[in-house]
Structure formats: structure tokens, C-alpha cells
């Protein structure tokens, strides 16, 4: 079979994608596959990634995969691993014990903090920094590290005066 792109070399990379019962097949030689590497990464969906990563948590007994079931749509954890998609919004809660570590492995956190528009990003960052400093100051007070608490208090005052003047 010849490469679908260059038509000259033998195809050694064969890709099949099924979306909404539509089958798309692509046969590529190694050279064209490397050139299209970035496009191919974008071409494959998040579901393939999730299904693959869910398998990394092997050690879940097959019986347990069938027992973890969404009460709303009836999806099992095995269905999620097979398809890489959840059945409904209730699945997040039903599979929480398995999804939390998976999401943490993918995103580095299991909570979404959201994106901040650039125009207000600095103000939000300053607010978060201020909250962090206040928490550190309270901890310093609890541990009776009064020198650190005073240093943090002064830093908070400086940040406050800069934000009022700027």
C-alpha cells in the first residue's frame, strides 16, 4: 500500500479514527508521518489519551471496574477506560476516586483554577500573592516567629500602598 500523502513510498504507519460512526483511514510512510507528526497529535482526541492513561493505573480489579457505576447513565469505569469518555456529568462524581489521580497526573492538579484575562491578571496575581503573604504571616504568628511575622507585615503594607498608588 502506498503512502496517501506522497504516493511514492510504502505506507508503514496506518491510522484509523472513528468519529460519529465515520471511519477515516490514513496510510503514511515514515517520512510523511514524521512531517505530519504535529498534525497527527492534534488529530487524535483527548479520549485516546485518557483511555491510555487510565490503563496506567492498572491494578484495579476487573470486578471493581464493573462495580464502579454511574447511577445516572449506567456507565461503568470499564466503559470509561474502553471509550476514554464519560457518559454524563454525574460520572465525574461516580468515578471521583479514579478520576482525581488521573486528572492530577495529566494536569498537575485535580482542581481547575481557570484562566485569567491578561487585563486583570496582574490584579488577581497581586491579590493571590497578598493572600499567601497573610497566610504565611498568620503561620509565623502561630509558631511565634515574630521577626518573620513583622517582615511579612511590612511586605503586605508595601504591596497595599503600591496597589493603591498604581
Q: How confident is the model over 90-143, as pLDDT tens digits?
A: 988 888 888 888 777 777 776 776 776 766 667 767 788 889 999 999 999 999
Is a pLDDT exceeding 50 seen at residue 57? no
Predicted pLDDT at 146: 94
Q: Which residue has the cell 521577626?
A: 147
Residue, of 114 and 48, whose pLDDT is higher: 114
Residue 22, φ and ψ in degrees, nearest 5? -100, 125
Q: For residues 69 and 72, what is the distance between their CA atoms, to the nearest angstrom?
A: 9
C-alpha grid cell for residue 108? 498537575
Residue, of 106 and 47, whose pLDDT is higher: 106
Amino acid at each position: 500500500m502506498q503512502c496517501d500523502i506522497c504516493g511514492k513510498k510504502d505506507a508503514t504507519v496506518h491510522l484509523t479514527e472513528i468519529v460519529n460512526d465515520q471511519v477515516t483511514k490514513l496510510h503514511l510512510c515514515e517520512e510523511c508521518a514524521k512531517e505530519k507528526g504535529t498534525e497527527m497529535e492534534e488529530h487524535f482526541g483527548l479520549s485516546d489519551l485518557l483511555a491510555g492513561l487510565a490503563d496506567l493505573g492498572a491494578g484495579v480489579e476487573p470486578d471493581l471496574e464493573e462495580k464502579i457505576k454511574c447511577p445516572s447513565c449506567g456507565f461503568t469505569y470499564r466503559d470509561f477506560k474502553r471509550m476514554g469518555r464519560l457518559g454524563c456529568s454525574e460520572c465525574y462524581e461516580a468515578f471521583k476516586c479514579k478520576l482525581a489521580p488521573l486528572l492530577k497526573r495529566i494536569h498537575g492538579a485535580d482542581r481547575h483554577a481557570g484562566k485569567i484575562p491578561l487585563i486583570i491578571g496582574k490584579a488577581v496575581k497581586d491579590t493571590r500573592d497578598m493572600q499567601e503573604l497573610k497566610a504565611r504571616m498568620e503561620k509565623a504568628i502561630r509558631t511565634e516567629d515574630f521577626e518573620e511575622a513583622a517582615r511579612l507585615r511590612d511586605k503586605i503594607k508595601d504591596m497595599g500602598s503600591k496597589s493603591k498608588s498604581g
